[in-house]
């Protein structure tokens, strides 16, 4: 991928103001969070509850300055996130007349969000309550080392997927799906899969735009092999693969994001079409 650093206006940097503890003050890092998240996905048991009750209080940061101890490599990742966010949102602004921009909140370990402490421990996620994307940059290393999904476009896919959830919120899709889940609890997982696969397709819609030749200077441009990186990332985090990694067997009734094959298929649909109309997982079959 080719990309140009910007002014970081698409990120809120909270890396110097985040951090919680598990249990009685025992710290846990992002790797531990990812393990708990995978176990929760695979088994249907909320292992994230180990992080504390909803009444848990954040670590005291009143004496800190909020300054970030970082490295040049990490700062380049901040610039990368900002550049991708800018490009993804420019794409959606051209597709949706009423698009309202969001930001990525960068944090370390954990941070309170509008969706609560436990959900802040899940790595990259979109919070519909406050309309922001949350990301611990350490997840990118986990994506490469634990899941074998390397490359800039694999990381960009993750960001674009979360912005896809923002699009769902703006268009009312997310609200309708949550209402349907409340009305029919037995279909909650199936509806969640449809929501996640649509976000994958929406990520592909942006990838289609980024692959077009002759883009304006300063925008993200794809290079040969980038699409394959994104497809590999989609396959790497399918529910079936995560379940095999953690339990050794697959339980489709516990899927919340879709199988590897499903995630690849819907991401590919967006990449090929470049149209949100190709991403109607709600009325079409998801296989």
Range 18-44 average pLDDT: 49
Cα 53 to Cα 16, 24, 31, distances in angstroms: 24, 12, 21
Three-state secondary structure call for residue 113: coil
Q: What is the DSSP letter of 106?
A: E
pLDDT tens-digit profile of 68-91?
778 999 999 999 999 999 999 999
- Going by their DSSP bridges, the two strands 11-13 and 104-107 should be labelled as parallel
pLDDT tens-digit profile of 270-287?
999 999 999 999 886 555
Helix (H) or strand (E) holding 73: helix 72-95
Question: Which residues, in sequence order, are bridge partners of residue 21?
Answer: 27
pLDDT tens-digit profile of 157-180?
999 999 999 999 999 999 999 999
Within a 10 A sphere around the Cβ of 246, how many other Cβ atoms? Answer: 15
**What pTM does this model have?**
0.81
CA 44/CA 51 separation, integer angstroms: 16
Tokens of 52: 């504390």
pLDDT given for residue 51 in this prediction: 47
> Given a cut of 70, is residue 25 above it in pLDDT?
no
CA 284/CA 287 separation, integer angstroms: 9
């Amino acid at each position: 991928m080719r990309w140009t650093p910007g002014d970081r206006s698409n990120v809120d940097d909270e890396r110097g103001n985040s951090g919680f503890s598990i249990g009685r003050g025992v710290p846990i890092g992002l790797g531990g969070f990812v393990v708990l998240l995978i176990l929760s996905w695979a088994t249907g048991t909320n292992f994230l509850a180990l992080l504390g009750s909803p009444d848990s209080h954040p670590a005291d940061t009143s004496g800190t300055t909020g300054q970030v101890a970082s490295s040049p490599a990490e700062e380049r990742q901040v610039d990368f996130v900002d550049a991708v966010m800018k490009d993804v949102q420019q794409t959606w602004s051209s597709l949706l007349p009423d698009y309202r921009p969001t930001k990525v909140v960068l944090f370390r370990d954990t941070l309170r969000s509008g969706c609560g402490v436990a959900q802040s421990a899940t790595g990259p996620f979109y919070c519909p309550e406050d309309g922001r994307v949350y990301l611990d940059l350490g997840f990118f290393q986990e994506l490469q080392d634990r899941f074998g999904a390397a490359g800039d476009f694999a990381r960009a896919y993750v960001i674009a997927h979360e912005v896809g959830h923002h699009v769902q919120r703006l268009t009312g899709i997310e609200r309708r799906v949550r209402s349907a889940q409340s009305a029919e609890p037995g279909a909650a997982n199936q509806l969640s899969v449809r929501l996640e696969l649509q976000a994958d397709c929406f990520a592909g819609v942006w990838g289609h735009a980024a692959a077009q030749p002759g883009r304006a200077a300063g925008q993200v441009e794809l290079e040969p092999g980038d699409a394959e990186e994104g497809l590999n990332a989609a396959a790497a985090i399918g529910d079936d693969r995560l379940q095999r990694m953690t339990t050794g067997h697959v339980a489709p009734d516990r899927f919340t994001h879709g199988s590897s094959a499903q995630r690849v298929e819907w991401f590919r649909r967006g990449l090929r079409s470049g149209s949100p109309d190709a991403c109607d997982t709600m009325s079409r079959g998801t296989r």
